[in-house]
Amino acid sequence: MEKEDQLLRPVIQSRNQAVQRIKESQQQFIFVASLLDRIPNIAGLARTCEVFKAAGLAVSDASIIHDKQFQLISVTAEKWVPIIEVPVFSLKVFRKEKKREGFSILGLEQTANSVPLDQYSFPRKTVLVLGREKEGIPVDIIHALDACVEIPQLGIIRSLNVHVSGAIALWEYTRQQRSKQL
């Protein structure tokens, strides 16, 4: 038994070091997708989070990662990105917790006071709330946000798919953080 422990110890240490390196290289960006219903959107966001090394994806029900459609679209992203269960009724508590941790809480929504995405300077520690697929972010949640950002649009259609919008916003956050490192 002692021999097995000696053999396993370096493997476990190596794995722990790899996990630590992954955590240290993560961006301080968390998506809140708790308001979303459609599995393809949530799975696509999980994949986007992995690609850009987001710190987490909050969803209303973490068991979604066992859904076959989710797994097909996410391409194992849930193994690398922390999936945080935040039911809709817990959003207020989650927001307060993240504020205490120093995060800015933003919404991706078209409002009278939204700042165009390309004109907003993202804080390093950002939580970005995404709205429901058709209705957007409810008013009571919008009032609790630090700010709203929106993607400047040129066409007639007033919105993009929520996964596409989230990916654009996370890329802009990533672009800004990379330029700060140069």
Convert the pLDDT of each residue in 10-32 to its tens digit.
Answer: 777 776 666 566 556 799 999 99
**pTM for this predicted structure:** 0.88
30 vs 97: CA distance, rounded Å = 13
Out of 3.40.50.620, 1.10.1370.20, 3.40.1280.10, 1.20.1050.40, which CATH number does the structure's domain 2-181 have? 3.40.1280.10
pLDDT tens sequence across 32-72: 999 999 999 999 999 999 999 999 999 999 999 999 999 99
Nearest to 170, CA basis, from 22, 31, 24, 39 = 31
Could you state, in order of their start, the residue ranges of all structural domains in the chain? 2-181
